[in-house]
Structure 1
Amino acid sequence: MSIDLSADGWQHAYSGKVRDLYDRADQPDRMLVVASDRVSAFDHVLEPGIPGKGALLTTLTRWWFDRLDVPNHLVDGPVPEAVAERAMLVKKLDMFPVECVVRGYLTGSGWKEYQATQSVCGVDLPAGLADGDRLPEPIYTPAWKAPLGEHDENISFERTVELVGADTAAALRDLSLQIFAAASAIAEERGVILADTKFEFGADAAGQITLGDEVLTSDSSRYWDAELYAAGDRASSFDKQIVRDWLAAHWDLNGTPPVLPPDIIERTSARYRELIERLTA
């Protein structure tokens, strides 16, 4: 549920599964992005939320923006006190309808697709890979951003060319791989593996491709503890996998999802906090 920020001049414009967007008449080129405590899985918003999650996501996004050598949508300026810890003032972008997914390891939906086709999003991979294996090199596996309530769809690079044009498609791919390589190196220095992530880009008023939305958070990325991974543990990720696993065991994905129990909420929150501590210490 969005917050009334009208006293600060901001009007609610849109709510996604996790974030709420606000705009204002006197700053038509600006937007306020507020990360909520809502948690989503399997394209459903779940109950209850994770206390403090919005602030954690915002903190990590800002930390990464400071370290990535690529234009992003953050701008300087005041934000309402009521949402100061979980809000970003940004410039409006014309967002591309593509989620720019990069995978350095084979797992999740990529692993399922590989089992059926020995490829992911049209990218052929070597035979004999196992769930959680490191790929010979990171691969770009884009997805089409479905409207709220529908499932995102993995697509080929050729399909992104149809959606945004050849030059933009190539730029999105190259930028995504560049950012992934830089972020992976930073995480590795801190004993953390960046297994996969997704980026979202848009064009600013001058037409420059700009990194937007959240970036390299526990919601948009899969992180593993490098030491545990080396010991054979490929399941303990710093994200909401705890939620996904619990839902998969207690829900058939039909109808309304069950309410998350307190211990699942607390364990997930602890993993989010631990990742930030590991990366930013």
Structure 2
Amino acid sequence: MSAAIAGFAHLASGKVRDLYAPEGRDDALLLVASDRVSAYDVVLPTPIPGKGAMLTALTRWWLARFPDVPNALLDDESSVPDAVRDRSMLVRRLDMHPVECVVRGVVTGSGYAEYVERGSISGVRLPQGLQEGDLLPEPIFTPAFKAAQGDHDENIAFDRVVELVGGPAAEALRATSLDVFRRAAEVAGARGLLLADTKLEFGAAGDGGIVLADEVLTSDSSRYWDADAYAEGRRGVSFDKQIVRDWLRAHWDGTGAPPRLPDEVVARTADRYRELLDRLAAAD
């Protein structure tokens, strides 16, 4: 699944990203975003050309918007091979918190399913009568426990976060996640985008603080909707792999190996990723 990179030892591969260690260094890691695409917890046999580079560009662009939030990105890029430079980040080694810091501004996806069943999401009680895609009065922090690869993450209440990482770190995770979401939603809104939700990850710094890590506000970790379409009543017009999900739902029953994606679906999906990056960065 992962390619060999001279001067780096391969450590692990996820659904989309590959992790390497620079030889002779114990303070850094190389995070490489591939063009692989996953859906319904399965890596598909058909890549989306340019996806890894676009995800990396989005993370870098967003990190530059939050200079006051400590992040894992290292400035030393001189040793990164040209072959993966546009889709990789040299980052600090961190002790990662076992919590997916999900913030929702809209009730949708698995959050809506949990709301229908329980009237709450991750223990956050919500008003009655909400419909799929409704805006929330305020963004909510709905954390999840990171599952082992191949398993589903488990939505958890804030008290469980305190048990996992301690009170001060839990409070910092919640406050920072909500702050980043609110600021990002404002930036996105000025560009005709509705940030429905996002998933952030943090590691522990040596001084006990938290450090923003991994991908940040990308179209794989966040739902961006077209704001004009939403205002017209067309909810969920997104800039991510929803095209892939819709095609699979219509052509695959979830058993056996997933089918290859048609060229038209691949092209349309790549265009949606590219449009999001263009919309966000065009004003710079």
Fold conserved (TM > 0.5)? yes
| 1:159-192 Cα deviation digits (max 9, x unpaired) | 1112111221111111100100110111111111
Question: What amino acid is the match of 2:134?
Answer: D
Q: Deviation at 1:158?
A: 1.4
Q: Deviation at 1:155?
A: 1.2
Who is 2:57 aligned against? Answer: 59
- Runs of 4+ residues deviating >3 angstroms: none
In the alignment, the residues of structure 2 paired with residue 203 and residue 235 of structure 1 have an alpha-carbon distance, to the nearest angstrom, of: 35
Who is 2:141 aligned against? Answer: 140
1:26–1:205 distance in 2 versus 1, CA, 3 Å? farther
Q: Deviation at 1:89?
A: 0.7
* Structure 2 counterparts to residues 105-254 of structure 1, below 5 A: 105-254=106-255
Who is 1:36 aligned against? Answer: 34
Question: What amino acid is the match of 2:64?
Answer: D
Q: Deviation at 1:117?
A: 1.5
Preserved contact between residue 74 and residue 91 of structure 1 (Cα < 8 Å): yes
Preserved contact between residue 96 and residue 202 of structure 2 (Cα < 8 Å): yes
Q: Deviation at 1:27?
A: 1.4
Who is 2:2 aligned against? Answer: 2
Question: What amino acid is the match of 1:202?
Answer: G
Paired residue secondary structure (2:105): strand
Question: What amino acid is the match of 2:28?
Answer: R
Preserved contact between residue 240 and residue 273 of structure 2 (Cα < 8 Å): yes
In the alignment, the residues of structure 2 paired with residue 19 and residue 198 of structure 1 have an alpha-carbon distance, to the nearest angstrom, of: 16
Question: What amino acid is the match of 1:92?
Answer: R
Who is 1:263 aligned against? Answer: 264
Identity of aligned residues (%): 62
In the alignment, the residues of structure 2 paired with residue 232 and residue 13 of structure 1 have an alpha-carbon distance, to the nearest angstrom, of: 46
Question: What amino acid is the match of 1:271?
Answer: R
In the alignment, the residues of structure 2 paired with residue 92 and residue 137 of structure 1 have an alpha-carbon distance, to the nearest angstrom, of: 34
Who is 1:74 aligned against? Answer: 73
Paired residue secondary structure (1:190): coil
Preserved contact between residue 36 and residue 46 of structure 2 (Cα < 8 Å): yes
Paired residue secondary structure (1:244): helix
Counting matched residue pairs gives 279
Question: What amino acid is the match of 1:65?
Answer: L
Stretch of structure 1 that moved more, 53-62 or 241-250: 241-250
Preserved contact between residue 36 and residue 48 of structure 2 (Cα < 8 Å): yes
Paired residue secondary structure (1:114): helix
TM score, norm. by length of structure 2 = 0.95
TM score, norm. by length of structure 1 = 0.96
Q: Deviation at 1:251?
A: 2.5
Who is 1:14 aligned against? Answer: 12
In the alignment, the residues of structure 2 paired with residue 124 and residue 254 of structure 1 have an alpha-carbon distance, to the nearest angstrom, of: 36
Who is 2:47 aligned against? Answer: 49
- Unaligned ranges ≥5, structure 2: none
| 1:112-161 Cα deviation digits (max 9, x unpaired) | 11111221111111111111110011011011111111111111111111
Paired residue secondary structure (2:173): helix
Q: Deviation at 1:24?
A: 2.4
In the alignment, the residues of structure 2 paired with residue 186 and residue 153 of structure 1 have an alpha-carbon distance, to the nearest angstrom, of: 30
In the alignment, the residues of structure 1 paired with residue 176 and residue 269 of structure 2 have an alpha-carbon distance, to the nearest angstrom, of: 30
| 1:196-250 Cα deviation digits (max 9, x unpaired) | 0000000134433100000000000000111111011112111111112222222
In the alignment, the residues of structure 2 paired with residue 206 and residue 166 of structure 1 have an alpha-carbon distance, to the nearest angstrom, of: 15
Question: What amino acid is the match of 1:23?
Answer: A
| 1:5-31 Cα deviation digits (max 9, x unpaired) | 12xx11111111110011023211011
Preserved contact between residue 92 and residue 204 of structure 1 (Cα < 8 Å): no
In the alignment, the residues of structure 2 paired with residue 23 and residue 207 of structure 1 have an alpha-carbon distance, to the nearest angstrom, of: 24
Preserved contact between residue 56 and residue 86 of structure 2 (Cα < 8 Å): yes
Question: What amino acid is the match of 2:2?
Answer: S
Paired residue secondary structure (2:127): coil
| 1:53-109 Cα deviation digits (max 9, x unpaired) | 000000010000000130000011121111010010111111011100000001111
